[in-house]
Amino acid sequence: MRTRVVITGLGAVTPLGSSPEALWEGLLAGRSGVGPITLFDTSAMKTHFAAEVKDFDGPALLGAKEVRRMDRYTQFSVAAARQAVQDAGLHISDANRDRVAVVIGSAIGGMSTLYKEMQVLFERGPSRVSPFLVPMMLPDSGAASVAIDLGARGPNYSPVTACATGTDSVGQAADLIRMGRADVVIGGAGESVVVPIALAGLNVMTALSTRNDEPQRASRPFDRTRDGFVMGEGSAVLVLESLEHAQGRGAHILAEVLGYGSTNDAYHISAPAENGAGAAISMQVALRDAGLGTGDIQYINAHGTSTPLNDKSETAAIKTVFGERAYTIPISSTKSMTGHLLGASGALEALICVKALGDQQIPPTINYEFPDPVCDLDYTPNTARSLPLEHVMSNSFGFGGHNATLVLGRWTGNGAAAGAG
* Measured distance CA(196)–CA(193) in Å, rounded: 9
* Measured distance CA(68)–CA(296) in Å, rounded: 48
Rg (CA), the chain: 20
pLDDT, average across residues 261-267? 93
Q: Of these residues, 163, 245, 353, 402, which one is catalytic?
A: 163
> What's the confidence (pLDDT) of residue 418?
46
Mean pLDDT over each residue of the chain, to the nearest integer: 96
Domain positions in the chain are 5-248, 259-410
3-class SS string, 245-264: HHHHCCCCCCEEEEEEEEEE
Active site residue 340: yes
Active site residue 163: yes
> Residue 99 is which amino acid?
R
Q: Of these residues, 48, 245, 252, 303, which one is catalytic?
A: 303
pLDDT in tens, 182-235: 999 999 999 999 999 999 999 999 999 999 999 999 999 999 999 999 999 999
> What's the confidence (pLDDT) of residue 1?
82
Cα distances (angstroms) measured from residue 246 to each of 101, 242, 310, 351, 413: 15, 6, 38, 18, 12
**140, 159 contact by CB (below 8 A):** no
- CATH class of the region 5-248: alpha beta
pLDDT in tens, 328-372: 999 999 999 999 999 999 999 999 999 999 999 999 999 999 999
The yes-or-no verdict on residue 49 having pLDDT over 50 is: yes
The yes-or-no verdict on residue 273 having pLDDT over 90 is: no
> Residue 30 is which amino acid?
G
* Measured distance CA(16)–CA(20) in Å, rounded: 9
The torsion defined by the Cα of 125, 41, 234 and 232, in degrees rounded to 10, comes to: -130
pLDDT in tens, 159-182: 999 999 999 999 999 999 999 999
pLDDT, average across residues 237-251? 97
- Which residues partner with 78 through β-bridges? none
Domain 5-248 and domain 259-410, same fold? Reply is yes
- Model confidence band, residue 415 (pLDDT cutoffs 50, 70, 90): low
- Model confidence band, residue 414 (pLDDT cutoffs 50, 70, 90): low
Under CATH, what is the fold of the domain 259-410? Peroxisomal Thiolase; Chain A, domain 1 (3.40.47)
For 79, residues 6+ apart whose C-beta sits below 8 A from its C-beta are 11, 13, 18, 56, 58, 61, 62, 235
**316, 369 contact by CB (below 8 A):** no
The pTM of the full predicted model, rounded to 2 decimals, is 0.96
Q: Of these residues, 245, 340, 391, 402, which one is catalytic?
A: 340
